[in-house]
Structure 1
């Protein structure tokens, strides 16, 4: 499956699906002593003496730590979670003048033997989507 730099068949499949990648990363991090926090809205990365000292949460709590892994895009992390005076000038300039982060694009094709009978409100998700999309049903195998 797939091609990379002209080599066909260079892609592979993850045993357990793509969600397994996140699970394994979390397990390895926890084995190394990391604490994974979910539903914890970070408002600011705290810097003391030029080094990470913690994270300020929207709840008002402060989590003290020496290392942080942000799953936000680099622009949001560098310009939103860090204060401008905490960044070297060249880094700040890069993110304020030239950093752009485009949203991801996904194409999914499902081939079904019959209609699943699932319906949603018309245009219910339009405010979350841009570009073109098509919703229709085509049987995977036409009867002859």
Structure 2
């Protein structure tokens, strides 16, 4: 968006100011916000749509804006986290099936099956027992 100089005596300025080229007090091309903020720090200026380019003025205008409610945010965050958590399903294996997997793939094969249910162990027997216990609950 273009920047317009509003400082008395500079309304019809033509020339370069920093990286911005002005003709009759209006920038030739679109101006980056950071460049407009720098110019507005030393003189009155506004965007071509009439809004101020001054950060200080915006801060004053928004000073009475109420802060978001912390309680509502916590409740919303909790609802989002709860909704995003996957539902834990019970493992559906028999002891014989688990022992067969242990024979074929070893402890790593059992760990692959137990991981989605949050079951961990360093022992084949403990993994099988924990998975059977989880299935019974």
Same fold (TM > 0.5): no
TM-score normalised by structure 1 residue count: 0.20
TM-score in terms of structure 2 length: 0.21
Higher gyration radius (CA): 2
When you count helix as a share of all residues, which structure comes out higher?
Answer: 2
